[in-house]
Chains A and B, each alone.
Chain A
Amino acid sequence: MSVVTQKFLSDDHLMAASLTALPKIGPKRLSTLLKYHDPQTAWSVVQGRAKPHDVVAALMQESGLGAMWRANATRDLQEQILARCKKAGIHLVLYGESSYPSCLKNDLAPPAVLFYLGDLCALNARRVGMIGTRSATASGRYFASHLAFELTQNGVSVVSGLARGIDAWAHRGALRAREKTDSADMKKPKSAFGELAPPVGVVASGLDYVYPKEHGDLWRQVAQTGVLLSESSPGAAPEAFRFPLRNRILAALSEVLVVVESRDKGGSMITVDEAQKRDITVLAVPGSPRNIASVGTNLLVQQGCLPVVGVDDILVALGLDNRRASAASFDPRPRLSEQDAHLVAVMVGAPFSLDEFVIRTGVPLLEAAISLGRLEALGWVVNNSGWWEVIEFG
């Protein structure tokens, strides 16, 4: 080993990192390997230079795994991994080390190797997982970012997957809370619980493989202000099988899991299952029965999950009831006239087209154009690609 390597990653860490990059090595096989051998021996075992433990030997018998690993476990692979870690500043922590996150220590399936960007101390704050569909409605996105904003201000970390839709908007809200405090009101008391909580991201691909591409800035900011976690080796592509595995870590890291918008199937529901396996409280944001994006969350509420209508519901679930401490939430938008309030009440819930607005409210088209224009200017409705939505909270 060169001098430089020892500076950046210890030998143990480098070996472990290299092991994760082997083909067909999932979290289970990796755990087995590292359970019976220390990382450096494990690497030798894989290379065929050391005698494997019986269990490991049995594992390596399976469908030519041993041969495949032996072919791939080269110096090249090691150097590649090292270069990637160094370039992106990726560190890792092994199961059993003292700095390994305590919240994952007693998990059902703790990752044997955890890569991270940023500061692992971020995991010491209270943590709430926020998940939801990738094709969210505008009001769903706003609601997610509002919740995250207020949670962050209350010292609760937002854990999310940095996917498109709800995930990304939750983190945008969390980052916004930090920006706001950093820039404008330094003098004001920070929050009911003092510190602003750092954001936590858990991603499926390698930490230097930004997916989706347009979230590059978001990844960087989360890593700078909080921590970004992954159990995939650096450079690993976002293959489909990695997402359910990621969801398990996300669930394990959450003290409370909030589903903002979800259909009845999909990644969010997998995370919910993982959370329920671990006896983690799942909360759901109910939506209009007409809103397809809320079918899954409504189902959860039906099955007995507590509904979330504001940040207090989450704080109560965490045992951080501060309803008396914080000021009443304030809607900065101007009050609506009686007529406008009626229109908003009729249309709230699901996205609607101009057609539906005219038919449901019975307002003539020209007048409807005026009303919607006014409501949009006041911030009560938004328009995306011809679809309108009522935003319930400014």
Chain B
Amino acid sequence: MFASVRSATLLGVRGSRVDVEVHAGIGLPGFTVVGQPDEVCRESRDRVRAALLSAGLPWPTRRVTVNLAPTGDRKSGACLDLAIAIGLLAAQEIVSVDVLSEFAFIAELGLDGSLRPLRGATPLVLALTDRTTIVAPGNFVEARAATPSKVLCAQNLFDVVECLAGRADWQREVRDSKPTDALNRRRDNRDRDVNANSSAERVSALDMADVQGQPVARRALEIAAAGAHHLLLVGPPGAGKTMLAERLVGLLPPLTDEEAIATTMVHSSVHLESPNAGLIRRAPYRAPHHSSSMVSMVGGGTALMRPGEISLASNGVLFLDELGEFAPSVLDALRQPLEQGIVRLARARTSVVMPAKFLLVAATNPCPCGEGSPGACTCDESARARYLRRFSGPLLDRFDLRVAVSRPKTDELVSPQRGESTADVAERVAAARELAFFRSGCANSALSREQLDLVAPLSRSAEKRLRRELENGRLTGRGYHRVRRVARTVADLDGAPDVVSDEHLNLALMMRVDLASGLRARELQF
């Protein structure tokens, strides 16, 4: 007998449909899975057998071939377990083949026949929108939030069979979305611990009011959030670079539906828990350590093509502390995603595209001794030059905002006066963002050159100033346009929606510190 059951597997951050074809024919009893299953997938034979027997359902004593179509792609993971089990039952005519055309199945099976949640529920159900999808209780809330189509769940394999036959009702509510068995709970807790440090919850609770002094860095955060400009904070240790960077994410507006789904897809596919197991609505914040490998940053690695930190930070903030300590190859790998907003990974067997539209915030010391200020710095020039060589020019050029952060003075630190709160700043940011999107349909940092002339006309004196900067070589061609984009954002925040005037441009220029300028011997001025 033959049966075909719809399911899906994960590749990168997308689900791809798989038809599980089961044929039970005459021959010596046996079981083969064909169609490029990986190790985990091939093991499903043993899981499915145990689950069927535990649920009191028969295991076929015929020659069984399971084909995973399309056969060209490699399938991985345990997400096909339930579909294989149902296929086997249909081939034995325990489940009617006719009803199967309405359903799709994505769940892992426990040996006791229970349905287990799996990672990537969001992308998987999004690949199956034309069917009613059956998921494990642990994935129910997330799956239902992600897709407009119908999602149902059941506790175990036996229930699934009963429901398909119409002898019982599907479960439509799940009280406790957490997986119930001990093993999963432990795994869950561990995952949460690992990500606790940079979890969106902790970071989004931080308030700008805690930042004392630092008027320039505060403004830089506001500009970065409003115009989606990448930000580099340069300053001595203890100046508060990390503190500032963590507060940036609170200034970003909540994600739109589209962004929320895209972000949830990425997070779901690496089994990061989403808030209340629904869609991620807050901008994510990721702060990988500087020892991170290339694969952990851009993605790839296994046959599943796991998304990297840049994809996890998509629509949110990627914070790279101690930028100079990252491997140069890792940093340079960020350049293409920074420009395109996606990362395209190609391997011999597959090629995937993952989102990478992140706001890059980086922090670094100005020199090896960390002081930076002329006179206070004890590094000699060659040591400084060596230190600055760690950042490639093209990468530095992509930071629209490069801001020197200095240590706040004692008076500022102990001052009882608190800074402006995140809520107040976020309001201005939201208004400026709205204005930008209304005007040109994108954030200011993404304005094309043609658009720039249209939406950011310069006042006469501002133009003169820019010309001077270009002539004395302090601004590159790319820098010229970037400064204009930042100036546009500054003007938006200042409530000057039409002409970009002198002051806006000057501030934009001053927030684009040339790290190496102290090293160049200038012409004597007499």
Contact = CB atoms under 8 A, between A and B. Distances in A.
Q: By CB atoms of chain A within 10 A, which of B213, B374, B513 has the most?
A: B374
A383 B465 CA distance: 16
A356 B407 CA distance: 10
Contact of A386 (B494, B502, B513, B522): B513
Interface stretch (B37-45, B421-429, B504-512): B504-512
Nearest to A373: B506
Contacts of A140: 375
B260 interface: no
Interface string B335-370: 000000000000000000000000000000010000
B506 A385 contact: no
A373 B380 contact: no
A182 interface: no
Interface in B361-414: 366, 372-382, 402-406, 408-409, 412
Interface in A359-376: 359, 365-367, 369-370, 372-373
Best-buried of A140, A146, A359, A372 by chain B (most CB within 10 Å): A359
Contacts of A183: none
A353 B514 contact: no
Given A372-B510, A373-B465, A385-B514, A261 B375 contact: yes
Contact of B518 (A293, A359, A384, A394): A384
B216 A353 contact: yes
- Sort A-B residue pairs by CB-CB distance and give the 3 closest, nearest first: A386-B404, A293-B375, A386-B513
Contacts of A173: 524
Contacts of A142: 524-525
Contacts of A160: none
B219 interface: yes
Q: How big is chain A's contact interface, by range?
A: 35 or more
Given A356-B406, A365-B219, A369-B503, 11 more contacts: A146-B526, A291-B375, A293-B375, A294-B375, A359-B412, A365-B507, A367-B503, A373-B510, A383-B517, A385-B404, A386-B513
Interface string B200-241: 000000000000011111010000000000000010000000
B470 interface: no
Contact of B380 (A135, A146, A369): A135
Contacts of B412: 359
Contact of B216 (A145, A261, A358, A387): A358
B186 interface: no
Contacts of B234: 386
Contacts of B515: 385-386
Contacts of B516: 385
A336 B234 CA distance: 32
Given A366-B494, A366-B504, A370-B502, A387 B373 contact: yes
A29 B502 CA distance: 67
B366 A385 contact: yes
B368 to A, nearest CB: 12
Interface residues of B, number: 50
Contacts, number: 131
18 contacts: A133-B375, A140-B375, A142-B524, A164-B381, A212-B381, A291-B375, A351-B375, A353-B373, A353-B405, A354-B216, A355-B408, A359-B412, A366-B494, A369-B506, A373-B509, A377-B468, A386-B366, A386-B513
A246 interface: no
Contacts of B406: 353, 355-356
Nearest to B215: A358
Given A145-B524, A366-B504, A137 B510 contact: no
A340 to B, nearest CB: 15
Contacts of B219: 365
Contact of B503 (A176, A356, A366, A382): A366
Given A379-B525, A394-B525, A365 B216 contact: yes
Nearest to B519: A385
A385 B518 contact: yes
A115 interface: no
A133 B379 CA distance: 11
B428 to A, nearest CB: 14
A128 B379 CA distance: 28
A389 interface: yes
A122 interface: no
B372 A350 contact: no
Contacts of A212: 381-382
Given A353-B216, A358-B216, A383-B517, A137 B404 contact: no
A134 interface: yes
